[in-house]
Amino acid sequence: MTLKDPFNRPVSNLRISLTPKCNLSCVYCHREGEKDPTSPLSAAEIAEILRVAAGFGIRSVKFTGGEPLLRPDLIDIVKSVPAGIESSLTTNGILLAGLAADLKKAGMRRVNVSIDSLDPSTYKKITGSDRLSDVLEGIDAALDTGLTPVKLNMVVLKGINDHEVDDFLGYVRGNRDLVLQLIELMNFNNCDHHGELNGLENSLASRSKQIITRRMHHRKKYCLDGAEVEVVRPLHNTEFCAFCNRLRVTSDGKLKPCLLRTDNHVDIRGRSGKDLEDLFCEAVRRRAPFYT
């Protein structure tokens, strides 16, 4: 059975937050919209969610946080992903160097690494930490072990790191296993450094030798002299909503039908079997484009 919402959008992707905890304090962090989360889902609960998701034809799962590498049972969770579901993970990369090989062996396909600056002082200003060197080692380890393509998530912050876009393009240039993602700042936190992505995307388009429209979110990939870059714009973006294929699970066990809403969650904590299947269907029924 394939899940489709009332707007005929198929749901083929699951995003599971494994923990609200993080070892950074980024100025813009929205914590997936979670407020005062309780204890996170157990590995067994996550395995059951994945089993039910597989029955609905879910084809991919992305593990997030917080920082998912802080979960001591992460490898077991990755191993529980059913055959036919591709797994990936978004991490700040600090602990990645020591875990990349185990993640690959457990069946993980690839990783996204959140990195908002290549300058140590700017990185510390954004994250509250001076661990940039650890992040870069983590990226190298992911490349070495084949957790590819490695997508670098850069949240564009006006007046802080927006001048570094070309530096990041230089970092990924010439390596087909590295893709840069420029991400629009969300409104979930009191951070007012919203960059101007319209002008930035127009500049990328004018400089690109090739522009590819991706299936997911109808997003464009710009190819600039051996560097690949995507612009992720969830705000005021009807295409982002029209092509959304994702259902989210919060770390405390709620199905979240929409990234930009927190008032329509479906509690699945402790549920299993047919009960959990019905709750999946209810969450999908609650899906509606935030921007139309």
Pull the structure tokens for residue 192.
């007012």
pLDDT at 36 over 60: no
Mean pLDDT within 204-233: 88
pLDDT at 222: 95
pLDDT at 199: 86
**Full DSSP string of the chain:** --EE-TTS-EE-EEEEE--S--S---TT--GGG--S--SPPPHHHHHHHHHHHHHTT--EEEEESS-GGG-TTHHHHHHTSPTT-EEEEEE-STTHHHHHHHHHHHT--EEEEE---SSHHHHHHHHS---HHHHHHHHHHHHHHT--SEEEEEE-BTTTTGGGHHHHHHHHTT-TTEEEEEEPPPSSSS---B--HHHHHHHHHHH-SEEEE-SGGG-EEEEETTEEEEEE--TT-HHHHHT--EEEE-TTSEEES-TT-SSS-EE-TT--HHHHHHHHHHHHHT---S--
Q: Provide the pLDDT confidence category of residue 216 given band limits of 50, 70 and 90.
A: low
Summarised one tens digit per residue, pLDDT across range 260-284 is 999 999 999 999 999 999 999 999 9
pLDDT band at 35; cut points 50, 70, 90:
low
32 or 201, which is more confident: 201
Its pTM stands at 0.94
- The predicted-structure confidence for 157-206, as pLDDT tens digits, reads as follows 999 999 999 999 999 999 999 999 999 997 755 666 766 688 888 899 99
Note the CATH architecture for domain 3-285: Alpha-Beta Barrel (3.20)
Q: What is the pLDDT of residue 219?
A: 83
Residue 191, pLDDT score:
65
Residues 112-162 have pLDDT tens digits of 999 999 999 999 999 999 999 999 999 999 999 999 999 999 999 999 999
The mean pLDDT of the chain is 93
- How many residues are recorded in the chain? 292
* Residue 292 in this model has a pLDDT that exceeds 70: yes
pLDDT of residue 33: 59
Q: What is the mean pLDDT of residues 15-39?
A: 83
pLDDT class of 54 with cuts at 50, 70, 90: very high
What DSSP element (H or E) covers 113?
strand 110-114
| Tens digits of residue pLDDT in 234-249 | 888 898 899 999 999 9
Q: Which of the pair, 30 or 103, is modelled with greater confidence?
A: 103
State the CB neighbour count (10 A cutoff) for residue 86: 15
Residue 38 pLDDT > 80: no
Q: Place 218 in a pLDDT band, splitting at 50, 70 and 90.
A: confident
Q: What is the pLDDT of residues 56-91, one digit of tens each?
A: 999 999 999 999 999 999 999 999 999 999 999 999
- pLDDT at site 286: 98
